[in-house]
Amino acid sequence: MNPNDFDYRILKEVEHRPWPLPDRPWVMAQTWHDLLFAHWPVDKTQLRAMLPTGLELDLHHEQAWVGIVPFRMTNVAPRALPGVPWISAFPELNVRTYVRVHDRPGVYFFSLDAASAVVVGLARLLFNLPYYTASMKVTADGPAIRYRSDRKGTASHRPRFVASYRPTGGTFQAQPHSLEYFLTERYCLYTVDKRGQSQRLDIHHRPWALQTATASFESNTMAEANGLALPATPPLLHFAKRQDVVAWLPAAAI
């Protein structure tokens, strides 16, 4: 990891945001690499019943979606502190859907798997997010990414994700109101605190530079582990090479 390659110019690029930056300091920087957005249409009634009270399921033309997103992270560090290699760089894999509170659309995570036990512990403690420790390996062969994740736990219940994926087209920015925009251009995530109150964690980044993608899934039980049933239809796939991100502490979603 190069600890000096985070692009802080993103903080000056705000015209694309759906709402202004928070009026308090951001607290965390991170860089996301080699993301695969794999999305499936799912039954909105089933999905709505799985959300905490206070979060409204967000739909695109009355259709609900679930995403499985593998990637790797670098530059993960609190503001004004240098990254530590064995903490600041690791793979992550999340299972998510799309929600809103009032007029602010965001992401809701059913699970997040990471290869750093320290990060998992801190994220659970500070953000009340459903993080899990996993054994993970990511390798690249040219543009192709080989990704493997095995959540640590009993052998009979160990969610697994093994896939190979790569981009297949040139980069583009999703247009407002398009499905690609709905699935990717999200500037906050929602969770609930220990009292059951909705919390919003704001993030900021540039618009996504997306590419169409292809993928081969050798094993994928991530949705099933969260009680989600994916359809047999092929997923909608997009790839993104890199995204620099800053994040704020959670605040009440009011």
Q: Is residue 79 within 8 Å of 26, Cβ to Cβ?
A: yes
Q: What CATH number does the domain containing 177 carry?
A: 2.40.400.10
> What contacts 24+ positions apart, CB below 8 Å, involve 229-235?
229/42, 229/43, 229/46, 230/40, 230/42, 230/66, 231/40, 231/41, 231/42, 233/40, 233/41, 235/38, 235/39, 235/40, 235/68
Residue 37 placed within a domain: yes
Radius of gyration of the chain (CA): 17
What DSSP string runs through 232-252? SSPPEEEEEEEEEEEE---EE
Residue 19 placed within a domain: no
Tens digit of each residue's pLDDT (9 = 90 or more) over 181-218: 999 999 999 999 888 899 999 999 999 999 999 999 99
Lowest mean pLDDT among 43-52, 57-66, 147-156, 232-241: 147-156
DSSP conformational letter for 48: H
Residue 1 placed within a domain: no
Average pLDDT, the chain: 93
Indicate the pTM of the whole model. 0.94
Q: Vertex 117, ends 206 and 159: CA angle to 5°?
A: 85
Note the residue count of the chain: 254
Tokens, residue 76: 């993960």
Residue 12 placed within a domain: no
Q: Does position 113 have pLDDT exceeding 70, yes or no?
A: yes
Q: Is residue 110 within 8 Å of 226, Cβ to Cβ?
A: yes
Q: Does position 114 have pLDDT exceeding 70, yes or no?
A: yes
Residue 171 placed within a domain: yes
> Into how many domains does the chain fold?
1
Residue 6 placed within a domain: no
Residue 14 placed within a domain: no
> What is the average pLDDT across 22-32?
95
> What is the average pLDDT across 15-25?
97
Residue 17 placed within a domain: no
CB atoms within 10 A of CB 142: 6
181 is in which domain, residue-wise? 26-252
| Helix/strand/coil percentages in the chain, nearest 5 | 15, 50, 40
